Structure formats: structure tokens, C-alpha cells
Structure 1
Amino acid sequence: MDWVEFYNGGDESVTLTGWHISDSKRELQKFDLSFITVPANGYAVLSCSGSISDAAPTVAPFSISGSGDGLILTSADGTVVDYFETGATRLGVTSGRQTGGGSGDRVFFTQATKGSTNPDVCYLSYAANAVFSNTELYHSEPFSLEIKTKNADGVIRYTTDGSKPTEQSTEYTGAITISSNTVIRAATFVSGMMPSDVTTATYLFETPHSVPVVTLAMNQKDFDDVYAVSSPFVPVVEREGHIQYFEKDGSLGVETSAGIRVSGASTRRYPQKSLALIFRSGYGRKTVTYPFFGNDYIKTFGSLVLRNAGQDCLNTRIRDSFTSTAVLDMNIDSSAATFCAVYINGRYWGLYDLKENMNKDYLAAHYGVDEDTVNIIKRNTVELAGSNADFLRVRSYVVQQNASGANVVVPLTAERYAEFTKWVDAESIADYLIAREYFPDADMFNQKYWRTTDYKVRWRAIFYDSDFALSSERGDVLGHYFNVVGVPSADGSLSQMDLYCGLRSNEEWCDYFITRYIYVTKYYLNNDRLLPLFDSMVDTIQPEMDRQIARWGRPESRSHWENEISKLRSMLVARPQYAKQCLQYNFKLSEAQYAEYEAKADAMFNQNGGVFK
């Protein structure tokens, strides 16, 4: 949480009865300070947070932006007693005033002294940023890099190892010759001022990539600490790094600092790991806004993932991104994806899938909800965000144990179904099952569900981690989802399928599901749409595969990759007939019955104006 410190320079303590603090000139009485007493010649500290999860009678209901905020203190009669502009702060930097003989001007401190006297060492402002004479990504010939600053008395210091410059770093005294892959980070240092923000550039002497490029610059030891995490059973390590995103033509799209940590579970042991990019105010910004996935898609993100293609990295390396992209227009929570080449401190790190992070940031971006109201449950009970209490309650509404200890479905009658759907988004669950069945994935371990505590978003399943999708054109997983016993994993543990089993017991939902299944597979998940999408994604990464294979040996060879791509495409071509057969088998539909449902699906399509919805 953020905090504000009050100082009383008088000889008697002061209780702030009727006083208020606010971050808005339109709402001066935002927070009552009556409970605070500031001792004589002493300090009192107030915690501040705009997060619902931090809400408390003694916590002011606003956060302080790293880019600066105005704080207003008013007395009991409404008089503005003080107004303080915090100015831009960074991780480890606070702002305030010096007490005693110091002036009342705002200054910055690099040492936080919460609840006690401010440090003697302070800074009035920041030095001007260093400016590079060349910011182009790609180069074929050596060039001279000049660095300038607006501070006439400023000293520019720089690094070439990815670390942030300090006052002990190399001093810039003249043009630097750049002749190979290099990351340069520079800052201006002026006596009496805070060091400038760090200017970062990566220069590549490489054949230009056919995909966007993501560069990451950070202290090498920090990166090594992050990358050393190779088990899903140990805590991740997060360290700050600087990210730049370049479009295919080499133009810089956006740059920002972020927290870097490994992502994924079993794939953490792979030599090429997935990386999560976490945006936080302490690193400079809480979100990043950029059209990574096109101008018609969400543009503001609280976090992103550079995914290594998961367990499919040995074969086609597009299964997950293809399937998540293929279902985006369905009533499903799925991640957009784009391919990119990644460089870490100037070294090629391979081909990655840039994807949305399927966490509470996703819900906040797509649904406009407060992320602090989100519950996310993995598999049966694991709490990734919030509490699992409501999820367990909803599960027990439809599946209970009999006297013998066996799981049994409590049928959803019309009345119970109406109650159940107040908590569970039954239509979204239907679309999720359709997607899982059309791209059959026998890896049932990875189940996630989420909702908001106010039920603005009811319980929904998350479509993610499709590394084994469409492993066979004949695949059928519906029976697993409707198995009240649960589905065993390799370790013998069971993934419970209570929500699906409950819905299967309701005739109204089954009728909807069958109609929707035919509608989706006929008008959306059809090869007229899927094959061009598949071919386009293959064409995008095809020029990148030789470099990826040379870097990591995954896939093992181009010929292996091409063979796996060919097999996956053939399965995609054959899938429609088997998808139909799977539906008929699971719901015991004759051809005549299927035809009746198909007519209903056709009518649905016509009612939607011949457009899939």
C-alpha cells in the first residue's frame, strides 16, 4: 500500500477531528482523518489504497500514482490547509518536504523514513534523460552512437550488459562504435538532482525477422535468478526489466519497465522457458496500452506472457496459439496471440507467442470489473485469486456423495437450473465444451474457473493451455467432462467435472448445447475459416523456424516440424465428420434427430442475419 505522512511541528499533540484528505479537488472530504492523532514534534502515517481488498476504516480509499498526484488536506471548517504535489516517483523513491530549517518545497528522497524524520540528503528534481543519436533496431554496418543530455553539467554514464547505469558505470566521453548485437542503457547524473530515467536501446546485426521483436534488458544476475526457477512447486522470482516491442518493420511500438518472472508449470524445466511480464506502478506503470493484437482488440493490459508454445514446442509449436485464436469470437475467455522473436540483453532467445495473461488482469480489461473482486480457482480447489468457498458451494449444489461415498449428480430440475444459472454462466460453459470437443485435448488437468464476487461475471471456464489439442481427428472428450467420478491425471489425482455433470442433467441445457454445437461447428469452427487461419499462422512462423531450431533444438529439425504441421492440418481437414459423430454418440442422436437440431441451428444463423454470434 501507499502511505502519507503527517508532521506536527508544535509542542502539543493534535487530533485531526473533522479533518479530511483527498486526491480530488472535486471531493475534498473524501476521507475522514478524525481517528488520527499527531504527537508533538512527531509524525503519523496514513495508509492509502484504491484496492477493494485493502478497504478498511483506517485506509484512505485512493492510491498515489507513480506519475504524480495532488493531495489536499482540509481542516474541520473546510479550509484547505495544505496542498502537496507528489511529483513522479519510482520504486524506492519518496517525495516530501524537509522539516526544521529546510524549505517547504517538494523534494525527493532515495531513503524512505516512514513515521520519522526525513533524510538530510534530498533532491529537488530529476536530471534530463540521455538522448541517443540512433534508435534503429536493425543494422548491417558498424555505426557511431552519440549520447547527449540537456543538462550542461550532467555526466552521462552507460552500460552494455543490460544493467541500469549507476554513478560507478562507464562515463560517456565520446561516440561509441556499435558493430555487433548490443544493448545500451544510459542515464544522466547531476549533482543535487535525482538521476534521470534510464534510456535503453538494443541494436541487432541480424537478418530482419518476419515477426515483431521483443527486447528485454536487465541485470544479468537478476535474469539468471528469474530463469533458475525450474519447478512449479517453488515460488517464482520477479525482477525488474525493460521491455521494448518492435513491429515487423523494425519501428518501435512501445517500451516500458516491468516485472519479469517465469511462467507455466511443467514447462519451467525446459531450456526455453515462458516469461510473464507484470506491469506495476512501482516499475513505472500499472498497465501498458498498445494494439499488440490489432486495433479492433483490447489495447490495455496489466500483464502479458511470452509463451514458449508449451509442450507443443517439440512438434508444431502453434497448437495453443492457433486454437486460442480460433475461438476468440465465441462466448469464451481465451487469449489473443501474436508471434514474436525475443532478445535478452542482445542475445537471440527464440520464437515466442506473445499472449494475454489469463489472470485477473484479463477480467479487468475485458469486463471492466475491479480485479479485487475476482475469484480464480484452478482445478478443484486451488485459489489463484480470492476464495474457493463459493466455487465449492456451487459444485456441491450439483454433485454430492451418497451413503457409500460415491459421487452422484443432484439433477437440475427447471427450478434448480434457474437457481444454478444465477451463479454459473451456462451458455459460456456450453461454448467452452464445444471448443474443447472440436479441438479434443485429453489433458484434463488444466482446468480454471473464475467469477466476480458480485456476480457481474458468473462462474466461467477459462480456455487455456491447449498444447495437446487435436492430437487426433477422432478425439472425443465430452464423456470425460460428463464423468461424475472425475478424470484421473498421470499422478492419479482426479479433476472433478461437477459443473458439467450438473448441466448435463438438465434437459433445457442439453437442448441448447446440441443446437449450439451444430451452429458453432457449421458456421464458425469450419474449415472455410479455420484452414486459412491455420495456413496464415504457419506462413508467419515458417521463416523463423531455422533460427528457433538452431537456438534450442526444439523442434528437433525443420523436417520434423514440417511433418508435424502436415499431420495437424490433415487432422483439421478430417475433424468435421468426427466432431459430428462425437456429438451423436454422446447424446444418442439419430440422423433424423440430428437433422432436426441442424434445422434449429440454421434458423439461429438466419435470425442473426447470417452472421455468427
Structure 2
Amino acid sequence: MLKKLFPTFILFSLFQISFAQILINEYSAANFDTHTDNYGEYEDWVELYNSGSTAVDLIGWALSDKVANPIKWVFPASFIIPAGEVAIIYCSSRDEINGGVAHTNFKITQTKGNEVFMLSDNTGILVDSVSVIPNQKSHTRGRETNGANNWKVFTTGTPNTNNASAMEEYATTPIFSQNSGYYNAPINLTLSSPDPNVTIYYSLNGDEPNNTSNTYTGPIAINNTTVVKAVSYSSNPTVPPSFISYNTFFINDTHTIPILSISGDVGAGGLVDLLDGGWGSTGLEPQGTIEWFDKNGVLLDKGAGEFNKHGNDSWAYDQRGFDYIMRDQFGYNYAIQDKIFSTKNRDKFQRVILKAAANDNYSFEDGAHIRDAYCHHLSQLADLRMDERSASHCIVYLNGDYWGVYDIREKVDDHDFTDFYYDQDKNNIQYLKTWGGTWIEYGGPQAQTDWDNFVTFVTTNDMTIPANYNIVKSQYNTGSLIDYFLLNSYIVSSDWLNWNTSWWRGMDPNGDKKKWRYSLWDLDATFDHYINYSWPGGWQPTPTNDPCEPADLLNDPGGQGHVPIWRALLENEEFHDDFINRWQDLANGPFSCDFMINLLDSMIAVIDPEMNRQINTWAVGSYAGWQNNVQDMRNFILARCDSMNSAFIDCDTAITGIHDVSVEIIGIGEIEMSNNNIINNTNTPFFDQRFGGISLPFKVKSGSFYKWEIISPNTYSYDPFVDTLVIDLDTNVVVRAYFVPNRDIVYDVSPSGTNTSLIIDGNVFNAFPLKINYLLDDTVYISANIDPLYKFNYWNTDSVSLIQGSSITDSFYVTHYDTVRLLISEIQSDTATISGNDTLCSNEDKMAKVYVDFNAGSVPP
């Protein structure tokens, strides 16, 4: 208890709290399903109480959740609390007072352990504060009665009413004698509590324990992998039951990839019903716990939340996918806190997806158990201009039972995702999704209206007119469209456009990604796995499929205009050339046979050691059968990447070739060819093969650029001195980029530590050594302000020749990397004896140290 009160003590010691009649009276950071705001949302809230005899208007007052920022949200308009009354302020991040309802610009996360409620008056003086302590689901904390000093737990909150029926602090949570993790033999588990007035109850089957569960009387024998949950009940009826303790003990179970242990009730409507029930279970949202382990069985994080169905056709399999949402409102944790995905720097995930490879599942479907994760991972490594479900593989246990090989995925169609990566929160995104029909995930009806208006503009205006195309580019990421069509064409997707299509944009002007862009969804119907309705009758997914088919064969699947937009934009030369060049960039890199096969093999190697148990558990198929399916996918990839270039030439009459392109960097500099092909002095000469008949751009990225040179049997007309060179490729070429060589000159003064400064090209420098970069053959002018106690000797260089030779003011040409050093020496002191009225003369007017010895006689009294 003292530990929980400590943050409050610190808070009160940091700020002088003035006496005021407005008090923080109650708060809810666990509002899961009990009190809605004026938008119908279950938001956190804080209740203020006016303990005085007069009304108070809070305009200009401030609320905050952070000690370091006490004036985080200021009441922007009049907000009056009558005498003796209470008022609710919602912590929703909406940042408004609308219709008398106040919403702060922050949310509360009770399980972070560092959040507070702070109330300051309109002069900035702190008038009240309280530390946020976790509650159980839908409970609140507040003063025992309105304005009382004692803070209590309310198992039934009292928003906008008088505080009543307060409870004491929760019972102490049971303590386990062993930690979660791997054990190579059975164990005996001891449960304990520091409070002698509690009874501990426990479960071994995943059920949430209560006072009807097993009563703990002595050590529990754990002989098999088991999830143990325990709860304490106090003999004091005013003490609510404790939070639940839960641990997973793996007995003689080890793995080569991370493990997710999930646990929940086994009865009707519980977690087992969701994952092991019939089709009627699809609407369930059971609650339960998770524990996330690394491959060595070390617990990384844990928490409590909700599970729900993930998948559609694959829901027919016994091994099902599911979504998990960590719920801060339950009081255990707010996110899985781990860097789950190697391709991302994000390390907190409230929502994740667990897929058993969906329709590519082995062994319920004749799949490779890899397609969807592979396609998303390929897109990420290729840096495609879309949002992907980052993928990693893990083993899932359900209530201690092995449940198989899954891929854990980052949820893209989620405001936490857009907020983390792009600073676009749920109140500032428009997100549309098509799966059979189209719905609005975020943004309300205006999102669909805005998209429809955009589609109308593109399809009813001439896209060959640059002004029209520029309007499109201002609202729409045309590169995202190109990448979306290229990827789906390349992997021969048969389940997109009228299925598995999502696109969105951010609306916060201070955030990123404010143009419509695409997100990837399910990509298991790829590489000739199965066909799901996108294509007209008779079409088959083969490695030689025409890459132009989306424009040639499809009308408007899904009815949202993606193909009509594609067709309209292909009429624009800039878009068409971007499309062809982008394909070449990918074909010569991440979509090459070598890259794609190496990626597939590396991902298969991760799950291969786990596949025998996966297959044996579900008792369908064989390891050899799975390997054959993987080989079929490998063969398809090899055939597809071999056929694509020739297929492009066959289907797009505007292009010719293929032509050899060699790029050489002369000097030190860097250029970009097409999109993201970076060429510099470390990888020159750079060889590539490109289509002709289109414009190929070369852009200077860095260095002291001088000129371009094109060497070719044909004659090219171009300006050699522009930063961006664009050529209409029609034959083999060598493109040379010349950069003026640079040289570093280091300046120094010897000896160091004097008050000497150097004047270099009119600029004064005092700190040495000093390095300055110059172009070759630059002229540099040097001089010095020498310390008065020192004199000039000479300049010293390693290579360059000084024009004057030995003058303090000099100059030189930059011809080498060099050090230019000023050598100075201390002026020697003179000694003289003065007798009577003698005068000490100097041959020149200069400051120097003078030592005078004389006998002054006695000092007069």
C-alpha cells in the first residue's frame, strides 16, 4: 500500500497546492463498458467537485496527466460547476468543449504507472492532484464521500452523482513460488499471501478463478504444461477480491520460435468456445490473459484483454485465427511491450493478429503455411509504398494445450498503427475497406463522400493534362497505386479489389500520409493457391499471366473505382513511365528470382523445425506433403520472375528493349536512378537493364556536381548541367555523372593553448585543429591574429605551396588533402636595471613582458 501511495507523496512535495473549493472527486481509467460520453464511447473520465458555496467557471483552468506538464489541457471555454455539484470531464483526446461537454487533449493509461490527474487554476497554481492507481475492469477510485480526504475503490462508479458505497483497497494478489517458463520436469507450486485474512482460490483449466474455484490448501503438482490462475478473497466484506495472478508452466515443452500462451474460460461463450467451437462462435469476444515468451521460454510480457474472430473461409478449420486486444481498462497492462517485428522499431502493441496461415494453412488446406506472411514481408523489404501487416512466427498454447504454428501480425487497420507511424489518431483518419461490400472503418460518412468525389474527378477529367494530374497527385499517392497493382499482379493474386482491399488517408495537417494510400490485407490466394472471385470466368492464376490484365480484363470489382482510376492514370505519360520504371526497379532488386527465393527459404527455415508437431497435432497431411507444397510455391516464383519482363513488352506497346544501362560516378558524389536506385563512388559502375520507350530519370543526391555525359550509339539531346537528367531510352547507354573532387584541409596552430586566431577567407576561427572541405583548385586566403605574447614564425604545409612563401598573410591553391599549420613562438623577455632616473628604451613599439629590479629603500612611516 505504501508503494502505491508514494507517487502521490512525491507529487505533493513538488508543487505547492493552494486551498480551493474545486476538488478532484473521482476518476475512471477502467471504463470498459459502464459509462458513455456524448459520442457513445467508453472514455476515461475525471469528476470535479465544487465544495464551496458559489459557482466556479473553469475557463482558463488546466488539467493534466503528467507531472512534467501540469498545464497540458486548458479549458478553452466557459465550464461552470455550481456550488455543491460535480461535473465530468472526459479524457478522450478530442480537445474540445462541445455542448457543455468537456474533452481533454489526452487519454489516461492506468497501467503505465506514471500518470496523474492534476488540476490548476487560471493562474497556474496547482489546486488538487492524485496519482492514477490501476483499477479492475469498470471500477473507479474516488473520495469516500464528496470532498472527503480518504480515497477509496468503487466497484460501481458514481459519475455525476454523489460518491457512495466505497470499498477498501483490493485484497493482496497471490504470490507464486515459481516463475512462468520452461521446466524439464514436473514441479510443485506454492501459492501464498502476506495477508492472513485472505483465502486463495485457483484454476488449472484456464477459467478465471473466483470463490467457487479450487481452494488452495497446499502445494499444487504441475505435471504437464499448465496455466495456473489464482485470486485472493478477504474475510472483510468491504475488501474487493484481488487482481488475478497467472503463470504458464511449460513442462518438457521447448520451441525454436517465440510462444504465445493464451488462456480463458472453457465454458459457453469463453475462449475455448471461440477457437474450438462451431460457426456459431464467430461473434464471441471472450476475455482472457496472454503471456509472451521468447524461444528460450523467458517471459517477455503479459496482460489481460479480449479475443475475437479473425478470418473468414479459414474459420472452417479446426486451427483458427484470432485477434487479441490488450485492455488497459482491466488493470493489468496496456500493450504487449516487445519489439516483436524485425522490420519495425515499434515496441508496444495493444492489438495483434494471430493467423494460422489462413487459407494457406497446412494441413487443413493444401497450403505452404507461409504465403500471406511472405507477401507482406516481401512488400516491406522492397519498401513498397503501402502499409503491411508485419509478420513474425510463434507457437500458440491454449489453456496449456499446444495449438500449433501461427504468424503474429501487426494490425494495420487500427488507429494505434496510424498514430504511431504517422501521427494520425482515430479522430483524424479516413479509412475504407472492401471485403465483398465496402464499409467505413474510420472517418464517418464524409470519408466515403470524399473518396467518391475523388474517383469522379479522376474518371471524368483528362489525365493527360498536367494540371489535372497534379491535382490527383496532391490528394492521392500514385506511387502507392503503382506498388499495389504491381505486387498483386506479380504474385498473381486472385482475391483482391472486390475482396481484401483497404485504403486510407490522414486528416491531421501536422501528421504524415495525408494522401490516399493502400494497405495490404489477406494475400494467401496467391501463387496459384486458389481463386476467389476477383477475375472473370475462365481466368487461371499461372506464372505467365499478363501483368497488364488488371486494366485489360477487370471492370470495377468492388465498385470503388480502383481499376477505373488505374486506367485513367495510365493515359498520363508521367504516371505510365513511373509505373514501368518502378517495375524495372523491383525486377532488378527485391522482385528478382534470387531475392524472392532466398527470402522464401529463410522464412521456411524459421518454421521448419516446428512443422512436424503442427502436422501431428492436427493429424492431417505429412511433413513430406508440406515440403512438396513449399516446392510448388518456389517453382511458381521462379517461373513468374522469369516471365514478367517479356510479358510487359507483350502487353504494353509503348515500351521497347530491354537495353543495357551503365552508370558511372566520376569523383565523389551520389545520384538516384529512377526510384531508390542509389549509385555512388562505392558501387560504381552500376549496371542495369531497362525498358526503352519511356523516360528514365537520373537525379543528383549529393556531392559537388559538375555535369552529365551520355555515351551511346544514338544521339541524345540533353542539358549536361541540370541536377535531374531525364532521357528517353532507346538503346544501350553509359551515363556518367561528373563531380568536382573535394579535398579536406586541416588547420592548426603550434604551440596550442595561445590566444591566436586564424583568418581563413575572411572568417575568424579560434578552435583547432579545424577541418574545412574545398573543391579541387579552390584558392584559399589565410592570415592570423597572433597572441600578443607570441610572434609569427612561418606557415607549414604537407603538400600545398604558399604563394607568398613566408608572409603572415598568404594564400594557396587546394591541390591535395593537407594540413596547414601556423608556427609561432613566445617573445623572449629582456632584463634591465634602472638606477635613479634611467630610461628603458625599446627598439620597436610592441607589448612584451618586462622584469624590473630596483631598490626602493625603506618605506616611510
TM-score of the aligned structures, taking structure 1 as reference length: 0.87
**Equivalent runs, 1:325-336 vs 2, <5 Å:** 325-329=377-381, 330-331=383-384, 332-336=386-390
**2:604 corresponding residue in structure 1:** 538
Mark the CA change 1:27 to 1:136 in structure 2 (over 3 Å): closer, same or farther.
closer
Alignment of 1:317-356 (within 5 A): 317-329=369-381, 330-331=383-384, 332-356=386-410
1:302 and 2:302 equivalent?
A: no
Residues 151-209 of structure 1, C-alpha deviations (whole Å, 9 max, x = no match): 35443322112122323433322211111232101233444544433221122335422
CA distance in 1, matches of 2:604, 2:507: 41
Q: 1:381–1:388: 8 Å Cα contact kept in structure 2?
A: no
Structure 1: gaps (5+ residues): 401-408
Residue 46 of structure 1 aligns with an amino acid whose one-letter code is: I
On the 8 A contact 1:300/1:365 being kept in 2, the answer is no
Give distance in 2, aligned partners of 1:550 and 1:127: 44
Partner of 1:607: 679
Tell me which residue corresponds to 2:591: 525
Answer whether contact 2:258 2:292 (CA < 8 A) is retained. Answer: yes
Report the Cα offset of residue 536 of structure 1.
Answer: 2.1
C-alpha deviation, 1:58, in angstroms: 2.3
Distance 2:124 2:637 in 1: 70
Instruction: Quote the offset at 1:567 in angstroms.
Output: 0.8
**Residues 54 and 476 (structure 1 numbering): CA distance in 2 closer, same or farther, change over 3 Å?**
farther
Change (3 A) 1:385 1:296: closer
1:577 is the counterpart of 2:642: yes
Query: Residues 270 and 604 from structure 1, CA distance in 2 versus in 1: closer, same or farther, beyond 3 angstroms?
Result: closer
Aligned to 1:404: none
The answer on whether the counterparts of 1:304 and 1:357 sit within 8 Å (CA) in structure 2 is yes
Task: Check conservation: 2:56, 2:83, Cα contact below 8 A.
Answer: no
Equivalent residue for 1:424?
A: 476
**Matching of residue 434 in structure 1 with residue 491 in structure 2:** no
Counterparts of 1:520 and 1:52 in 2: how far apart (Å)? 44
| 2:141 aligned to which of 79, 92, 95 | 95
For residues 661 and 346 of structure 2, what CA distance do their matches in structure 1 show? 35
In 2, the alpha carbon distance for the partners of 1:604 and 1:276 equals 35
Aligned residue for 2:48?
A: 6
Alpha-carbon spacing, 1:173–1:238, altered in 2? closer, same or farther (3 Å): same
CA change 1:185–1:56 in 2 (3 A) is farther
**What SS does the aligned partner of 1:267 have?**
helix
> Retained in 2: the 8 A contact 1:47–1:60?
yes
Distance 1:150 1:454, change over 3 A: same
Q: Counterpart of 1:44?
A: 87
Aligned ranges 1:154-193 → 2 under 5 Å: 154-190=198-234, 191=236, 193=239
Moved more, 77-86 or 455-464: 77-86
Matched, 1:273 2:320: yes
Query: CA–CA distance in 1 between the matches of 2:406 and 2:397?
Result: 10
Higher relative contact order (CA 8 A, sep 6+): 1
Task: Tell me: CA distance 1:604–1:34, structure 2 relative to 1, closer, same or farther (3 Å).
Answer: closer
> Which secondary structure does the structure 1 equivalent of 2:181 belong to?
coil
Structure with more of its chain in helix, by fraction: 1
Matched, 1:443 2:495: yes
Higher mean C-alpha deviation, range 462-471 or range 289-298: 289-298
Q: Take 1:208 and 1:44, find their aligned partners in 2: how far apart are those partners?
A: 54
Corresponding position of 1:208:
254
Deviations 1:22-52 (A, max 9, x none): 0155444833397445455543333331147
Deviation at residue 347 of structure 1 after TM alignment: 1.6
Whether the 8 Å contact between 1:229 and 1:268 is mirrored in structure 2 is no
Q: 1:603 to 1:494 in 2, by over 3 A?
A: closer
The alignment covers a number of residue pairs equal to 595
State whether residues 70 and 118 of structure 2, in contact with CA within 8 Å, keep that contact through their aligned partners in structure 1. Answer: no
Q: Partner letter of residue 565 of structure 2?
A: L
SS of the residue 1:443 aligns to: coil
Q: Does 1:138 align with 2:198?
A: no
Q: How does 1:55-66 map to 2 (within 5 A)?
A: 58-61=101-104, 62-66=106-110
Secondary structure of 1:46 counterpart:
strand
Q: Distance in 2 between matches of 1:377 and 1:53?
A: 26
Tell me how far apart the structure 2 counterparts of residues 367 and 351 of structure 1 sit (CA, whole Å): 32
Deviations 1:365-421 (A, max 9, x none): 332332331221113742122222222121111125xxxxxxxx7434211111101
What CA distance in whole angstroms lies between the structure 2 residues aligned with 1:343 and 1:502? 50
Q: 1:484 to 1:505 in 2, by over 3 A?
A: farther
Q: Could you say which residue in structure 1 is the equivalent of 2:573?
A: 507
Q: Mean Cα displacement is larger for which, 466-475 or 173-182? A: 466-475
Gaps of 5+ in 2: 1-42, 529-541, 664-671, 689-700, 702-861
Contact 1:155 1:188 in 2 (8 A): yes
**1:530–1:337 CA distance, 2 compared to 1 (3 A):** same
Distance change >3 Å, CA 295–CA 263, structure 1 → 2? closer
The Cα RMSD (Å) is 3.3
Match of 1:149 in 2: 193
1:377 equivalent to 2:460? Answer no
SS in 2 for 1:567: helix
For structure 1, which segment, 181-190 or 566-575, has the greater mean C-alpha deviation from structure 2 after superposition? 181-190
Work out the CA distance in 1 between the residues paired with 2:162 and 2:675.
74
Q: Residue 19 of structure 1 contacts residue 74 of structure 1 at CA under 8 Å; is this kept in 2?
A: no
**Is structure 2 residue 305 aligned with structure 1 residue 251?**
no
Higher strand share: 2
CA contact (8 A) 1:130 1:187 kept: yes
Within 2, Cα distance between the matches of 1:417 and 1:596?
A: 31
Report the alpha carbon displacement of residue 150 of structure 1 after superposing the two structures with TM. 3.6
Aligned-partner Cα distance in 1 for 2:94–2:77: 22
Q: Percentage identity across aligned positions?
A: 24
Structure with larger Rg: 2
Say if 1:463 and 1:45 are closer, same or farther in 2 by CA, change over 3 A.
closer
TM-score by length of 2: 0.63
3-state DSSP of counterpart to 1:595: strand
- Contact 1:519/1:598 (8 A) holds in 2: no
Q: Which residue pairs with 1:403 in the alignment?
A: none
